[in-house]
């Protein structure tokens, strides 16, 4: 017996081939291969292994590779993943073991969790493929804590018979079952509540978030997997979805902004392979989120966009089903409050002539600028300034600038550049709007960035969306709104939530308003910042006209713009498309 490395020994078998002994985790020396004829032993144990040669074959334990070489010879069409805990054993096998030829990949020295992720990614890369496991029992005996952990995780993650259980007819009942991917994003709660109220069943699958977003007009960072931000873990998400699909048998999966999907398209390929429809409702810019993640295109993914102007962008990426679905409101949360003495006492802290709730974007703009190439900051500032004063489309602002280097940027640089311009432009635009109200009693609830931007304004902390914001809207004589410039024509959450409270809203004009409200009767708009003071003064001085507008707007919202309306439309589309 020859000591090759510490606790690893090479032994010459009776038939002359090399065998292997190792010191196991219990301190005893374990024999990995036969001491008489390792090659004959490998043929015997492979003979006893039931495998049809399809899909992915995971081999737990390498040793000197006799069994692995025999498996590769017998099953040339299989993709074989060989898992070995020890880097030293892998190096010895390369030098003294049997040559292994074929479609072979080695997973060496990783933790059990990292190993499972590699296996899952391989199985899911072209959709779910059959997976089988070959166990070299002598290796399991030597290192049970490592390999038994992998076996336990594999049982939770994959199964040879999954295919038949994951593919089934959809939309066969009048009511529907929906798996809702829950990232904690605010719209998840509203969607679940609306779908249940419409008579459907919902099962939530929890997924992690990259960053907590705002309410409707405060976008998340791109929520797909990105190495520098952590992102989502397929190892965690896919098993949860598999379990939910098998047990719940949903008609489709609903996500917001593609939350939970990965940049490599692994989850997308899996869902495509089992023909599982997915509805992704975008309430932030789909262009910023999806442009660098085109592996998530699928005929089984239907996009619903809160801004119809992005439809052509998404279709040019390859998405076949792209629809317009604006935001809405939960009328049970945003509703009029009784105007009595108790209300006045509780809400006196919110009472004001003009109220605004929103982020200054100071910190978020700085984050976007840090991602963009530093040399382009002056160009970003220039284009953002033009965009903030004209509200033209971003593409037009870039094309009309003197700078001509946009097409020379990489795709990721383009995305970071556009995001930086939009956020900076929105900061400047909101600032100019609020500065036009300097002669009014304005109450701002938002981040501390407003204190840096505005002097002599009453700035208070952010409000809880569900508990405090409805009371604030009710207490304002005029609720003011300035839309984020990533919304080319769309309207934000305030346009529905404020009227639902029976309160008055003064908002900037967006083209989508014409199809949602009777502008001038149900919604009062400004097209230029210099119109803001005159409109504010008129409706402060004419409370009866202000209240009439608010009343008509509320009637319209309750008739057409609740989340029940939105989710009802989404479900009907999915049934017609995939039923």
Question: Which single residue is written with the structure tokens 């810019």?
Answer: 285
Query: What domains does the chain contain, in order, with CATH numbers?
Result: 2-160 (3.40.50), 166-328+566-578 (3.40.50.2000), 341-562 (3.40.50.2000)
- Rg (alpha carbons) of the chain, rounded to whole number: 30
Burial class (CB in 10 A: 0-12, 13-18, 19+), 80: buried
**Model confidence band, residue 162 (pLDDT cutoffs 50, 70, 90):** low
Residue 429: predicted pLDDT: 97
Query: What is the DSSP secondary structure assignment for residue 406, as one 8-state letter?
Result: G
Residue 224: predicted pLDDT: 37
Q: Where are the beta strands (DSSP E) in 196-305?
A: 201-206, 252-256, 278-282, 301-305
Residue 159 or 333, more confident: 333
> What percent of the chain clears pLDDT 90, i.e. is strictly above it?
70
**Model confidence band, residue 227 (pLDDT cutoffs 50, 70, 90):** very low
Per-residue tokens: 165: 């259980």
Q: Tell me how far CA of residue 339 lies from CA of 77, 344, 506, in angstroms.
A: 75, 7, 22
Residue 136 or 98, more confident: 136
- Cα separation, 282 vs 75, whole angstroms: 45
- Cα separation, 5 vs 22, whole angstroms: 10
Looking at the predicted structure, is the pLDDT value of residue 222 above 70?
no
Helices (H), 442-562: 449-453, 469-475, 494-500, 513-516, 532-541, 543-560
Selection from 527, 500, 523 nearest residue 513 by Cα: 523
Query: What is the DSSP secondary structure assignment for residue 562, as one 8-state letter?
Result: B
Specify whether the CB–CB gap between 578 and 252 falls below 8 A. Answer: yes
* Span 40-50, pLDDT tens digits: 999 999 999 99
Residue 339: predicted pLDDT: 56
Residues making up the chain, counted from first to last: 579
Instruction: Compute the mean pLDDT over every residue in the chain, rounded to the nearest whole number.
Output: 88
Q: Tell me how far CA of residue 72 lies from CA of 53, 54, 102, 250, in angstroms.
A: 10, 12, 6, 39
Catalogue the long-range contacts made by 536-544 (C-beta closer than 8 Å, 24 or more residues apart).
536/353, 536/354, 536/437, 536/440, 536/478, 536/480, 536/506, 537/440, 539/477, 539/478, 539/504, 539/506, 540/353, 540/440, 540/477, 540/478, 543/477
**Model confidence band, residue 136 (pLDDT cutoffs 50, 70, 90):** very high
- Give the 3-state DSSP-derived string for 129-165, with helices as H, strands as E and coil as C: CCEEEEECHHHHHHCHHHHHHHHHHHHHHCCCCHHHH
* Span 87-102, pLDDT tens digits: 999 999 888 777 888 8
In sequence order, the 6+-apart residues with CB closer than 8 A to the CB of 211 are 220, 221, 229
Q: Tell me how far CA of residue 245 lies from CA of 120, 240, 259, in angstroms.
A: 17, 9, 18
* Span 475-522, pLDDT tens digits: 999 999 999 999 999 999 999 999 999 999 999 999 999 999 999 999
Per-residue tokens: 514: 């014409």
Range with the poorest average pLDDT among 152-166, 240-254, 284-298, 401-415: 152-166
- Give the 3-state DSSP-derived string for 330-373, with helices as H, strands as E and coil as C: CCCCCCCCCCCHHHHHHHCCCCEEEEEECCCCHHHHHHHHHHCC
Range with the poorest average pLDDT among 138-147, 174-183, 226-235, 366-375: 226-235
Looking at the predicted structure, is the pLDDT value of residue 228 above 50?
no
- Cα separation, 185 vs 195, whole angstroms: 16
pTM over 0.85: no
Residue 289: predicted pLDDT: 79
């Amino acid at each position: 017996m020859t000591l090759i490395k510490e606790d690893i020994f090479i032994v010459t078998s009776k038939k002359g081939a090399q065998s292997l002994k190792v010191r196991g985790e219990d301190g005893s020396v374990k024999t990995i291969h036969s001491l008489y004829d390792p090659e004959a032993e490998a043929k015997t144990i492979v003979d006893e292994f039931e495998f049809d040669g399809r899909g992915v074959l995971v081999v737990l334990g390498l040793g000197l590779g006799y069994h692995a070489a025999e498996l590769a010879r017998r099953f040339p069409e299989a993709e074989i993943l060989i898992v070995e805990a020890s880097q030293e054993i892998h190096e010895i096998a390369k030098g003294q073991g049997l040559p292994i030829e074929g479609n072979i990949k080695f997973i060496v020295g990783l933790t059990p969790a990292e190993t499972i992720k590699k296996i899952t990614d391989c199985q899911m890369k072209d959709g779910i493929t059959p997976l089988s496991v070959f166990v070299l029992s002598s290796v399991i005996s030597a290192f049970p804590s490592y390999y038994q952990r992998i076996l336990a995780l594999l049982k939770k993650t994959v199964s040879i018979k999954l295919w038949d259980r994951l593919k089934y007819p959809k939309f066969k009942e009048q009511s529907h079952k929906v798996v809702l991917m829950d990232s904690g994003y605010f719209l998840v709660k509203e969607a679940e509540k609306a779908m249940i109220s419409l008579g459907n069943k919902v099962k939530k699958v929890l997924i992690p978030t990259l960053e907590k977003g705002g309410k409707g007009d405060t976008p998340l960072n791109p929520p797909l997997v990105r190495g520098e931000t952590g992102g989502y873990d397929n190892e965690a998400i896919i098993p949860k979805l598999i379990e939910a699909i098998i047990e719940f048998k949903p008609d489709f999966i609903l996500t917001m902004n593609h939350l939970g999907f990965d940049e490599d398209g692994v989850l997308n390929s899996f869902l495509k392979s089992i023909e599982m429809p997915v509805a992704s409702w975008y309430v932030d810019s789909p262009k910023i989120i999806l442009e660098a993640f085109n592996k998530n295109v699928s005929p089984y993914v239907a996009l619903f966009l809160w801004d119809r102007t992005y439809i052509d962008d998404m279709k040019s990426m390859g998405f076949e089903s792209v629809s317009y679905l604006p935001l809405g409101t939960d009328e049970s949360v945003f509703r009029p409050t009784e105007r009595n003495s108790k209300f006045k006492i509780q809400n006196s802290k919110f009472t004001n002539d003009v109220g605004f709730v929103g982020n200054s974007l100071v910190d978020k703009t700085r984050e976007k600028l840090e991602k963009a190439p530093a040399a382009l900051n002056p160009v970003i500032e220039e284009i953002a300034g033009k965009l903030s004063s004209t509200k033209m489309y971003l593409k037009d602002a870039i094309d009309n600038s003197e700078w001509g280097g946009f097409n020379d940027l990489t795709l990721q640089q383009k995305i970071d550049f556009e995001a930086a311009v939009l956020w900076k432009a929105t900061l400047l635009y909101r600032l100019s709007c609020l500065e036009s109200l300097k002669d009014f009693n304005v109450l701002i609830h938002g981040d501390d960035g407003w204190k840096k931007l505005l002097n002599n304004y009453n700035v208070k902390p952010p409000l809880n969306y569900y508990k405090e914001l409805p009371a604030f809207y009710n207490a304002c004589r005029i609720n003011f709104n300035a839309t984020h410039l990533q919304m080319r024509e769309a309207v934000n959450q305030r346009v529905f939530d404020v009227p639902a409270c029976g309160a008055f809203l003064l908002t900037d004009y967006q083209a989508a308003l014409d199809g949602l409200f009777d502008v001038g009767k149900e919604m009062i708009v400004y097209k230029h910042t210099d119109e803001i003071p005159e409109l504010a003064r008129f409706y402060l001085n004419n409370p009866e006209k202000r209240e009439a507008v608010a009343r008509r707007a509320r009637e319209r919202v309750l008739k057409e713009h609740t989340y029940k309306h939105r989710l009802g439309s989404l479900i009907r589309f999915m049934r017609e498309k995939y039923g």
